[in-house]
């Protein structure tokens, strides 16, 4: 798997770094990461703050918009996206799950968040103000 981290020179920095991606993926079930060939940490702040991760199965790419969010929120967004695809759930507008699926996915990802979050890099990133 290839990890691409867009360069960021102004505040806010990426919440997760390139080194965090293998840590996250190593803790996940294989069916969640099947088909992912490229992970891109986008420098975009995004127009919609609810869309943190987007998996595009035809080209095997996972886009992560992590700037301006906490590590936990980004981790939850990535895990929700991957779990939703692995479980075959349908996403609504802005990558939201239906209410009946949302609680199910949150129960599945909660222990993973508790396991993975302390393992993520605590490296400080200094940028121009």
Q: Where are the domains of the chain?
A: 2-118
- For residue range 47-90, list pLDDT tens digits in order: 566 678 888 888 999 999 988 888 999 999 999 889 888 887 77
Q: Which residues contact 129 (CB under 8 A, 6 or more apart)?
A: 10, 11
pTM score, two decimals?
Answer: 0.87
């Amino acid at each position: 798997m290839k990890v691409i981290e867009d360069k960021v020179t102004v505040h806010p920095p990426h919440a997760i770094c390139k080194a965090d991606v293998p840590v996250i993926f190593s803790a996940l079930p294989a069916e969640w990461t099947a088909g992912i060939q490229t992970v891109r940490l986008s420098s975009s702040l995004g127009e919609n703050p609810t869309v943190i991760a987007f998996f595009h199965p035809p080209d095997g790419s996972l886009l992560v918009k992590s700037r301006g969010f906490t590590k936990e929120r980004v981790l939850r967004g990535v895990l929700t996206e991957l779990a939703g695809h692995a479980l075959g759930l349908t996403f609504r507008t802005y990558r939201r799950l239906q209410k009946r699926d949302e609680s199910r996915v949150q129960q599945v990802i909660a222990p993973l968040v508790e396991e993975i979050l302390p393992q993520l890099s605590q490296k400080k990133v200094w940028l121009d103000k």
